[in-house]
Structure 1
Amino acid sequence: MTTLRLLSAATLLALATSASATSFVYTTDAVVGALKGTSDITSDISSSFNDDKIVLAAREDAASFVATNGDIRGVRLEAALAHIREKAPQLQARSDLQLAQSILVL
């Protein structure tokens, strides 16, 4: 009976470890994918807008926007987002949050 309990406990432990490892892999893949997307946007923005006065002036508004998860939208950020989308059409599909995060990296 003791052997059966030990075998059952070992089997449950192995299954739990496998599930945790799988969950970790999926979580890691999601995080890496999100970072790669942000990195691509940041590279597009930094190469085109790293000395742009409109975009640089929006850094404080971008920080507030990111920190509040989009609740605070400053006038300078709104102007920068419109400016970025006008000058870089390849970024049209990016969210305001993604663009604001990229502005912070400049």
Structure 2
Amino acid sequence: MSRLRLLSAAALLAVATSASATSFVVTTDATVGALGATSDATSDVSSSFKDDKIVRAARDDAASFVASQGQIRGVQLEAALQHIRQQVPQLRASSDMQLAQTILTL
């Protein structure tokens, strides 16, 4: 009987380890996929809006917004955020902070 319990415990441990590893892989894949999508979207913004007057005019406001951790919101930044989201619909889910940081990289 003791041998059966030991074997059952070993089997349970093996299953638990396998499930844990699988969930780690799934979580990692989801995180990497999300970061890749964000990176691609940021690249799209960088290339699409590099010469855009509305976005370039918002650089100072974007710098203030990022430096104040979102406390200072300038009119030019608001216009640029709205403009970016209208031009690239897949960025509507991006946070204002992400877009402001992207504006600073242009």
TM-score, normalized by the shorter chain, greater than 0.5: yes
- 1:1-106 equivalence runs, <5 A: 1-50=1-50, 52-57=55-60, 58-62=62-66, 64-65=69-70, 72=71, 74-75=73-74, 76-86=76-86, 89=87, 91-95=88-92, 97-98=94-95, 100-105=97-102, 106=105
Of 51-60 and 1-10, the range deviating more from structure 2:
51-60
Cα pair distance change 1:83/1:46, threshold 3 Å: same
Cα pair distance change 1:17/1:11, threshold 3 Å: same
Cα pair distance change 1:31/1:73, threshold 3 Å: farther
Gap runs ≥5 in structure 2: none
Q: CA RMSD in A?
A: 2.6
Tell me, in whole angstroms, the C-alpha distance in 2 between the residues paired with 1:25 and 1:93. Answer: 26
Tell me, in whole angstroms, the C-alpha distance in 2 between the residues paired with 1:77 and 1:96. Answer: 17
What per-residue deviation string (whole Å, max 9, x for no partner) do you get for residues 15-57 of structure 1? 1111101111211121011111101111011223346533422
Asked whether the 8 Å contact 1:59–1:103 carries over to 2, the reply is: yes
TM-superposed deviation, 1:73: 7.0
Across the two proteins, how many residue pairs are aligned to each other? 97
Tell me, in whole angstroms, the C-alpha distance in 1 between the residues paired with 2:12 and 2:72. Answer: 50
TM-score, structure 1 normalization: 0.70
Tell me, in whole angstroms, the C-alpha distance in 1 between the residues paired with 2:83 and 2:73. Answer: 14
Tell me, in whole angstroms, the C-alpha distance in 2 between the residues paired with 1:74 and 1:103. Answer: 10
